[in-house]
Amino acid sequence: MSDFWIEDGETVLFIGDSITDCDRRSTGAPLGSGYVGLFAEWATARFPTRQIRYMNEGISGNRVTHLRERWRDDVLAHQPDRLSIKIGINDASSHLRGDEQGVSPHLFGEYYDEILALTQQELGCPIVLVTPFYIARTNSGDAYMDQMLELLPRYIETVEMLSEKYDTRLVRLHEIFQRQLEFRDPDQFCPEPVHPNRAGHMLAQSAKSGRTTYLL
């Protein structure tokens, strides 16, 4: 695939929450056992002549507020050539639960905009934004699930707006999973709606590599 988005000699950094982390600091070291590690394995096999450095800075439980706090040390200091960001589900769940430190859709957009502006100013590197997702069907009979599926689009719309503003690649991962649920049950992709199993991570990795029709 000649239009693969990472060039020889580049460093690509992934940052986000538990879905990016995926035990990268323990059993899955150094890239984690999820989509980041799978993506690196696929790209290495597919493009053996490209020497690419992969970094995973995901931390379980993170919200955009945490990314904002650690952005200079965990992103800017590494001077990556490419950057992938996947954040938002913990922000949405904190707001839905009414946590004292919850991140409203407005605050999510404000802080996300801030870190993207800083990145553009100091790095100017190409960026991939990945929408938050929730692997569940509407009208499931579970009140919390239904409320999350009603709230999450506000966070997704923010990511889409920021992608357009900063001219980034955009992976509509929630849409990808929702389309899959037209054919398969949610438990094919996750034990619960937030954390994918291997099949779910394979789907995310496929979107990252550009091998689905949903990657813009």
Number of domains in the chain: 1
User: Residue 3: inside a domain, yes or no?
Assistant: no
Q: What is the mean pLDDT of residues 114-123?
A: 98
User: Residue 172: inside a domain, yes or no?
Assistant: yes
User: Residue 2: inside a domain, yes or no?
Assistant: no
Cα separation, 120 vs 96, whole angstroms: 31
Q: What is the mean pLDDT of residues 45-60?
A: 96
As a whole number, the mean pLDDT across the chain is 93
User: Residue 93: inside a domain, yes or no?
Assistant: yes
User: Residue 4: inside a domain, yes or no?
Assistant: no
Question: Rounded to the nearest 10 degrees, how much is the dihedral formed by the CA atoms of 175, 178, 203, 114?
Answer: 40
User: Residue 106: inside a domain, yes or no?
Assistant: yes
Q: Do the Cβ atoms of 181 and 134 come closer than 8 Å? A: no
Where does the pLDDT of residue 212 fall: very low under 50, low under 70, confident under 90, or very high at 90 and above? Answer: very low
User: Residue 165: inside a domain, yes or no?
Assistant: yes
Q: What CATH number is given to the structural domain containing 201? A: 3.40.50.1110
Residue 151, pLDDT score: 98
Residue 210, pLDDT score: 62
Residue 140, pLDDT score: 77
In 57-142, which residue ranges form alpha helices assigned H by DSSP?
Answer: 64-74, 89-97, 105-122
User: Residue 29: inside a domain, yes or no?
Assistant: yes
Residue numbers of the domain that contains 85:
11-209
Residues 6+ apart with CB under 8 A from 59: 17, 18, 21, 66, 70
Q: Which of 44-53, 123-132, 200-209 is the least confident region?
A: 200-209
Question: Rounded to the nearest 10 degrees, how much is the dihedral formed by the CA atoms of 79, 80, 84, 85?
Answer: -10
Q: Where are the beta strands (DSSP E) in the chain?
A: 11-16, 53-56, 82-86, 127-130, 169-171
The answer, as to whether pTM is greater than 0.85, is yes
Residue 4, pLDDT score: 81
Amino acid at 66: H
